Structure 1
Amino acid sequence: MVLFRRSLGDILRSRRTDLGLTLREVSGAARVSLGYISEIERGQKEASSELLASLCDALEMPLSDVLREVADAVALEEAAALVAAAPTPITPRRAGEVVASAA
C-alpha cells in the first residue's frame, strides 16, 4: 500500500538536505517542533495543511511543487505495485504443437 505521508516525508527531507538545513533550522523557521518535523519526515505523522504550508515556506518551496512531487512518487509506486501484482499470461498450446525440450 502506498502511503502519502511516507512520500511526503521523503520529499520534505530531500529538500531540507538539498538546502543543507538541519531539522533545528527548519523547526525555527517553520515554528514547528523539531520532533514533530522528524516524525513527518519519517512518515510517522500526518501534516495538516497549515503545518505543511509553514514547512514549505521554511524550505523555500511552493506547496504546489511539494504536492506535485508527492503525486508523482505515489503514481510510480502504484504503477510498480500493479506490475508486480499482474499475473503472468499463459499462452495455451494448440493441439499437436510440440514444445522443444532444453535437455
Structure 2
Amino acid sequence: MVLFRRFLGDVLRGHRVDQGLTLRQLSQEARVSLGYISEIERGQKEASSELLASLCGALDLPLSDVLRDVSDAIVLEEAATRPVPLPVTVKVPVRVPAPGGTPDVVASAA
C-alpha cells in the first residue's frame, strides 16, 4: 500500500540531508520539535499543511517542489507494484485421425 506520509518523509529527509542540515538545525529553523520532525521523516506522523509550510520555509523549498517529488516517487512505487499479467497457454485437445480414418489418437496443441 502506498502511504503518502512515508514518501513525504523520505522527500523531506532527502532535501534536509542534501542541504547538510541536522534534525536539530531544521527543528530550530522551522520551530518544530526535533522528535516530531523525526517522526514525519520516518513516515510515522502526518504533517499538517501549516507544519509542512514551516518545514518548506526552513528548507527554502517551494511546497510545489516537495509535492512534485512526492508525486514522482509515488508514480514509481505504483509502477513497481502494479500486477503484471502473465501470458496463459491453454492446451486444447485435438483429435488426430489414425491410419484408416478413425479418430483414435488425442494430441495436445499449444
TM-score, with structure 2 as normaliser: 0.81
Partner AA of 2:11 in structure 1 = I
The answer for the alignment partner of 2:18 in structure 1 is: 18
Partners of 1:3 and 1:13 in 2: CA distance: 16
SS at structure 2 position matched to 1:87: coil
Distance 1:4 1:40 in 2: 11
Aligned equivalents of 1:79 and 1:86: distance in 2? 10
Alignment partner of 1:2 is 2:22: no
- The unaligned stretches of length 5 or more in structure 2 are 95-106
2:56 is the counterpart of 1:88: no
CA offset digits 1:42-89 (Å, max 9, x no partner): 00000000100100011111100000010111111111111xx23312
Q: Which runs of 5 or more structure 1 residues have no equivalent in the other structure?
A: none
In the TM superposition, what are the counterparts of 1:60-75 in structure 2 within 5 Å?
60-75=60-75
Aligned partner letter, 1:88: L
- Determine which structure has the larger helix proportion and give its number: 1
Deviation at 1:93, TM superposition (A): 4.5
Alpha-carbon RMSD across the aligned residues, in angstroms, is 1.6
Deviation at 1:92, TM superposition (A): 3.0
Please tell me the residue identity of whatever aligns with 2:60.
E
> How many residues matched?
97
